[in-house]
Amino acid sequence: MGLYCDFLAQQEQSTAGMLGAILKQLVNRRGIPEYIRRAFQKAKKEFGGRGLRLPDLVEILKKTITSLQRVFICIDALDESVPKHRRGLLESLLEIVQLSSNARIFLTGRPYIGDEIAKFFSKAIRIPVNPIQDDIKSYLDMRLDGDTDPDAMDDELRADIMRVILAKISEM
């Protein structure tokens, strides 16, 4: 299950909204379980359709994950989430995976987020990403090939662009 955090969607990215998005993907692929239908009908009847409270959502997520063989939860750009919601998200994920040995968590973010993750997942494997020259070169080739003004480009300029950008990136 994947979730992409985004500075531009912080309002929707509450802790419950993010966990709900994970649950949504799980049930959308396998059919909505009866216990979720019942919770929805109850919320509609008694609470005017109010969304699930966080503790209830976490319980339903645990139940749903436990019913599956293996679940990968990938959350991209964690640093783009609101700090208070991020904390709630990490706390909830920890609670969920502690009881679900079939769940795997994969998180990405800018370097400063690593320490925050470690507070909750102290045994997490951490992979620092460095620029891969071949990837950058491939990307530059693609962008230069798609140049909308090819007449302004020649082999010498192309080589200069590649050399300067690759050199700058290797200094980062």
Partner 1 sequence: MSSGCRQVTGNINSFNVLNSSNVVNLITEADAEGRQILQWLSPLEPQQRHQGVRIDRLDGVGNWLLKPPSSEIGGIKKMVALSQYCSVTGIQGWGKHISGRKASCLEKGNADIIDD
- Residues near partner 1 (CB under 8 A) are 1-4, 6, 9, 12-13, 16-21, 23-25, 27-32, 36-37, 40, 43, 49, 51-52, 70-72, 74-77, 97, 101, 103-111, 113-114, 117, 121, 123-132, 135, 138-139, 142, 172
- Residue 75, classed as helix, strand or coil, is strand
- State in angstroms the smallest separation of the CB of 153 from partner 1: 19
Rounded-to-integer distance, Cα 90 and Cα 79, Å: 12
Rounded-to-integer distance, Cα 88 and Cα 72, Å: 19
Q: Which residue number, 72 or 154, has a Cβ lying nearer to partner 1?
A: 72
Q: Which residue number, 151 or 172, has a Cβ lying nearer to partner 1?
A: 172
Q: Looking up tokens 């912080």, which residue turns up?
A: 10
- State in angstroms the smallest separation of the CB of 1 from partner 1: 7
Rounded-to-integer distance, Cα 49 and Cα 8, Å: 26
Q: How many other CB atoms are found less than 10 A from the CB of residue 18?
A: 22
- State in angstroms the smallest separation of the CB of 149 from partner 1: 21
Q: Which residue number, 47 or 150, has a Cβ lying nearer to partner 1?
A: 47
Q: Which residue number, 68 or 157, has a Cβ lying nearer to partner 1?
A: 68
Rounded-to-integer distance, Cα 160 and Cα 37, Å: 60
- Residue 138, classed as helix, strand or coil, is helix
- State in angstroms the smallest separation of the CB of 97 from partner 1: 6
Q: Looking up tokens 């319980």, which residue turns up?
A: 59
